[in-house]
């Protein structure tokens, strides 16, 4: 696997991370079947895709980017879906996470 493919796979892993984190809100303690199945599937896909990306990317960078995508995506969807706080300080902090993700991408050799 080449490095650009690994970054794409890592991005998809991050999206799955967002999917299972948001999915947890809908599982109500894993009571309803289909939200629970979807959440567990997203969890599995996220970890498998992360593992694949590690064939070409450094562990520390990949893990930080994966969790960063999950954190940013989950925070943004929390604002959109669950009317969570949109305070300026919160948005600035999310921006700092995005800056860290971009920075890690820029300093990681291809």
Question: Could you tell me if 72 and 98 are in contact, meaning their C-beta atoms sit under 8 angstroms apart?
Answer: yes
pLDDT-above-90 percentage for the chain: 95
Q: What is the pLDDT of residues 28-73, one digit of tens each?
A: 999 999 999 999 999 999 999 999 999 999 999 999 999 999 999 9
Residue 108 is classified by DSSP as S
Domain that holds residue 91: 3-107
Question: Could you tell me if 82 and 46 are in contact, meaning their C-beta atoms sit under 8 angstroms apart?
Answer: no
d(CA 8, CA 1): 11
Number of domains in the chain: 1
The token pair that represents 15 in the structure block: 């999206």
């Amino acid at each position: 696997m080449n490095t650009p493919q690994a970054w794409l796979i890592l991005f998809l892993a991050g999206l799955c991370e967002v999917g299972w984190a948001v999915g947890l809100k809908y599982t109500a303690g894993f009571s309803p079947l289909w939200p629970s199945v979807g959440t567990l599937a997203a969890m599995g896909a996220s970890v498998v895709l992360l593992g694949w990306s590690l064939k070409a990317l450094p562990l520390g960078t990949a893990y930080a980017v994966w969790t960063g995508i999950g954190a940013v995506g989950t925070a943004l969807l929390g604002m959109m879906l669950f009317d969570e706080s949109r305070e300026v300080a919160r948005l600035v902090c999310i921006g700092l996470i995005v800056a860290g993700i971009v920075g890690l991408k820029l300093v990681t050799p291809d």
